[in-house]
Chain A
Amino acid sequence: KNEVEQSPQNLTAQEGEFITINCSYSVGISALHWLQQHPGGGIVSLFMLSSGKKKHGRLIATINIQEKHSSLHITASHPRDSAVYICAVRGVSNYQLIWGAGTKLIIKP
């Protein structure tokens, strides 16, 4: 079993829909990252969380430390949001990021 599990693996939605991507992890963490990767492009850090909730524009990220679960939400989705969204956690005993497999999101106009 992977230490970081994301769901769904693939998600296709219509423009304007509310999007939720989930991340569950099984290890103790010091922080959780949500990142975005466009095809052929580098990785952009969206959020870094250790508790609670963060909001940036149409993106919202939440984390529940007790349940070892985080969600990334996109409101009023747009085709330019199409990308792979990756959840990664940083362990408490080392500084290595443990990566989820990513969620490929396609927003159709």
Chain B
Amino acid sequence: EAGVVQSPRYKIIEKKQPVAFWCNPISGHNTLYWYRQNLGQGPELLIRYENEEAVDDSQLPKDRFSAERLKGVDSTLKIQPAELGDSAVYLCASSLFPGGNTEAFFGQGTRLTVV
């Protein structure tokens, strides 16, 4: 089992450019999360999917961020246009179910640097 796979691992872009991150969750995991982690802080939830439905996107900055999970498997997170403050690590996680006693598995993350 490959675990949660994210790509790219690192991305450097100029401000105002678009960027996209990709996540392949563990096979069979219905729940997928995107988190943003700023340096020295804990991850912040951006969006949670149950299958292909975004059930919690209250913390996603919708003016510039968008996400999709077509067919309830892979997911992409897009930022357009990127701002300097978007520099962070973007983590994807998946779990079998959304409940409290279900373990979440994390990808390696994508470190985004906006210059």
Contacts and interface: CB of A to CB of B under 8 A. Distances in A.
A99 interface: yes
A11 interface: no
Interface residues of A, number: 26
Contact of B106 (A44, A92, A94): A44
Contacts of A48: 101, 103
B43 A43 contact: yes
B25 interface: no
Given A96-B56, A99-B42, A101-B42, A43 B100 contact: no
A33 to B, nearest CB: 7
Contacts of B56: 94-96
Interface of B: 4, 6, 31, 40-45, 48, 56, 91, 93, 98-101, 103-109, 111
